[in-house]
Amino acid sequence: MGSKKLKAVAVRGNQRIGLVDRSEMKETLKWITSTYQDSMKWAVDYGTSGSVQYNHDSGGMAVKNYLKGVLEDVSALSGDEFHQALVVERDTCSGCPVRCKIVVESDEPKIDKPYGGPEYESIGALGSLCEVNDPHAVANANQLCAAYGLDTISTGVTVAFAIECAEHGLLDGRLGDGLALSWGDAEAIVELVRRIARRDGIGDVLADGVKLAAQRIGGGAEAFAMHAGGQELPMHDARYEPALGLAYAVDPTPGRHNTANGGFIDVEALHDVFETEDVSLSGRYAYHQKGVEFALLNRYMQVVNCAGLCMFSLMMGQPPVRGWINTATGWALSLEELLRIGHRVQVLRHAFNLREGLPPGGASLPDRVKGYPPLEKGPLRGVSLDMEAMKQDYFRAMGYDEDGMPTRELLDSLGLTGVADDLQGLRG
Ligand code: SF4
């Protein structure tokens, strides 16, 4: 596709894609409607903004470019206050009763409904990460991102990076473009988002994200660039969820919170998976076991992603994901078979990167994100992650060697002999 400059292939047909067992699938829908109200109450009530206060108070929310653990008056960004200030409607993906999306509107600043509203990630990236606790400013910046097609996480992380660069005198003079940036200055931050969107002045320096911006600015700016493999980091602090930090580093699409959200390790939905492999959960900071747990979660998550399921479905108690797949397809997959499929998917994704020249050991995380030095205040004070122990544990559990290369035995056992042949030349 790349060599032909194709961006996508659209396929259309006029035959219905049927379900093998429609009546059984109706039972599934009954299960969802009887479960979601209680298990997803925070999202039903407030959308993902309903998780702001909890995430912040537990230490899971990124604050001040990952420099702090606490945002003053964070309640102004909480689901309740956000709703009172701005939310006029709720929206949803097709057919989903949770309706976790918010729609905001305001006259001053002018914010229109077609742009929806900020999700948790956007509230974090454009709010707490820049020490902004003004919901109108967050919604305004979110609207700009939506209007210009910018990712709100990448944009917020880039703005926070720019503020820290300015604080250290790296954006003085011509580079600063006459824009005085400081933490919590909502007006300047919204203006910077506008300039990034238009590649205007300093916006042009920043518009390709923090990794490239740090190279352009120089002077040690890389220390303020919170990314993994060039992907700006999400608003879930790895010091609170170490397995998510592991995902940020080793997933083939690094720095993302939803490909294999390591924070999901302790949801009820995974109890069966852990029982099948005789693995008991080892606790938040038990690094020696974290990779095994994450490898299992990861294999399961690949199946969930391939089935097109929303990740939030795993928060509804114990959704019968395997039953749903079997009911829709008429297959009779066991949990072991599902996990093997997930394993193949993850290994294939990794092998693709290897073939394209990316390092087997994954991406490295910024020191401060790993807790070096540790925070001095807040719920995560004193936490430093042992990334190497988690990585080695994960590599072993996946069947990779200590450098992160899938072994020939693993690839053959997964029926990926052709991939093994392709990777043969890369082995030292
Ligand atoms: S499918 Fe998921 S993301 Fe979409 S509205 Fe439902 S819970 Fe929200």
pLDDT, one tens digit per residue, over 69-128 is: 999 999 999 999 999 999 999 999 988 989 999 999 999 999 999 999 999 999 999 999
Q: What is the mean pLDDT of residues 291-300?
A: 95
Domain shared by 196 and 258, yes or no: no
Q: Give distance in angstroms: CA of 215 to centre of ligand 1.
A: 38
Residue nearest to atom 8 of ligand 1 (CA): 100
pLDDT of 66 > 70? The answer is yes
Among 33, 37, 48, 101, which is best to mutate for testing ligand 1, by the most ligand atoms less than 8 A from CB? 101
Residue 7 included in any domain: no
Residue nearest to atom 6 of ligand 1 (CA): 96
Domain shared by 82 and 156, yes or no: yes
Residue nearest to atom 4 of ligand 1 (CA): 93
What gap in Å lies between CA 147 and CA 232, rounded to an integer?
A: 20
Residue 30 included in any domain: no
Among 98, 309, 314, which is best to mutate for testing ligand 1, by the most ligand atoms less than 8 A from CB? 98
pLDDT band at 371 (very low <50, low <70, confident <90, very high): very high
Residue 125 included in any domain: yes
Q: Give distance in angstroms: CA of 44 to centre of ligand 1.
A: 10
Domain shared by 54 and 169, yes or no: yes
Residue 176 included in any domain: yes
Domain shared by 313 and 173, yes or no: no
Domain shared by 219 and 262, yes or no: no
What pLDDT is recorded for position 285? Answer: 94
pLDDT of 294 > 90? The answer is yes
Q: Give distance in angstroms: CA of 299 to centre of ligand 1.
A: 22
What gap in Å lies between CA 234 and CA 227, rounded to an integer?
A: 9
91 CA closest ligand 1 atom index: 5
Write out pLDDT tens, residues 231-287: 999 999 999 999 999 999 999 999 999 887 888 898 899 999 999 889 998 899 999
Write out pLDDT tens, residues 204-224: 999 999 999 999 999 999 999
Q: Give distance in angstroms: CA of 176 to centre of ligand 1.
A: 40
CA dist 262 → 99, 136, 251 (Å)? 24, 31, 10
What pLDDT is recorded for position 27? Answer: 85
pLDDT band at 1 (very low <50, low <70, confident <90, very high): low
Answer with the one of 232, 264, 282 that is the final residue of a domain: 232
Among 45, 122, 264, 312, which is best to mutate for testing ligand 1, by the most ligand atoms less than 8 A from CB? 312
Residue 21 included in any domain: no
Mean pLDDT of the chain: 93
Angle 391-342-269 from CA coordinates, rounded to 5°: 85
pLDDT of 2 > 80? The answer is no
Q: Which two tokens stand for residue 278?
A: 């005789």
What pLDDT is recorded for position 357? Answer: 94
Q: In terms of residue numbers, what domain contains 385?
A: 242-426
What pLDDT is recorded for position 145? Answer: 97
Q: Which of 28-32, 236-240, 289-293 has the lowest mean pLDDT?
A: 28-32
pLDDT of 16 > 90? The answer is no
CATH of the domain at 175: 1.10.569.10
CA dist 49 → 69, 325, 410 (Å)? 18, 31, 42
Domain shared by 71 and 207, yes or no: yes
Domain shared by 221 and 311, yes or no: no
What pLDDT is recorded for position 383? Answer: 97
Among 35, 90, 93, which is best to mutate for testing ligand 1, by the most ligand atoms less than 8 A from CB? 93
Domain shared by 221 and 261, yes or no: no
Q: Give distance in angstroms: CA of 391 to centre of ligand 1.
A: 31
What pLDDT is recorded for position 259? Answer: 82
Q: Which two tokens stand for residue 81?
A: 């206050």
Answer with the one of 202, 232, 262 that is the final residue of a domain: 232
Where are the extended beta strands (E) located within 41-147?
Answer: 87-91, 101-104
What pLDDT is recorded for position 15? Answer: 87
Q: What is the mean pLDDT of residues 384-391?
A: 97
Q: What is the mean pLDDT of residues 396-409?
A: 96
Cut 0.85: pTM above it: yes
Domain shared by 269 and 407, yes or no: yes
What pLDDT is recorded for position 261? Answer: 84
Q: Give distance in angstroms: CA of 95 to centre of ligand 1.
A: 9
What pLDDT is recorded for position 5? Answer: 78
User: With contact defined as beta carbons under 8 Å apart, do 302 and 253 qualify?
Assistant: no
Among 99, 257, 304, which is best to mutate for testing ligand 1, by the most ligand atoms less than 8 A from CB? 99
Pocket around ligand 1 at a 6 A CB cut-off: 92-93, 96, 98-101, 310, 312
Domain shared by 253 and 225, yes or no: no
Domain shared by 99 and 217, yes or no: yes
Residue 12 included in any domain: no
Residue 24 included in any domain: no
Q: Count how many domains the chain has.
A: 2
Residue nearest to atom 2 of ligand 1 (CA): 310
Domain shared by 120 and 260, yes or no: no
pLDDT of 62 > 90? The answer is yes
Residue 46 included in any domain: yes
Q: What is the mean pLDDT of residues 37-50?
A: 92
Q: What is the crossing angle of helices 287-306 and 242-250, to 10°?
A: 60
Q: What is the mean pLDDT of residues 120-141?
A: 97
Answer with the one of 182, 203, 232 that is the final residue of a domain: 232
CATH of the domain at 340: 1.10.599.10
Q: What is the mean pLDDT of residues 393-397?
A: 97
CA dist 280 → 26, 111, 273 (Å)? 34, 48, 10
100 CA closest ligand 1 atom index: 8
Q: Give distance in angstroms: CA of 47 to centre of ligand 1.
A: 9
What pLDDT is recorded for position 348? Answer: 97
Q: Give distance in angstroms: CA of 62 to centre of ligand 1.
A: 23
Q: What is the mean pLDDT of residues 55-63?
A: 96
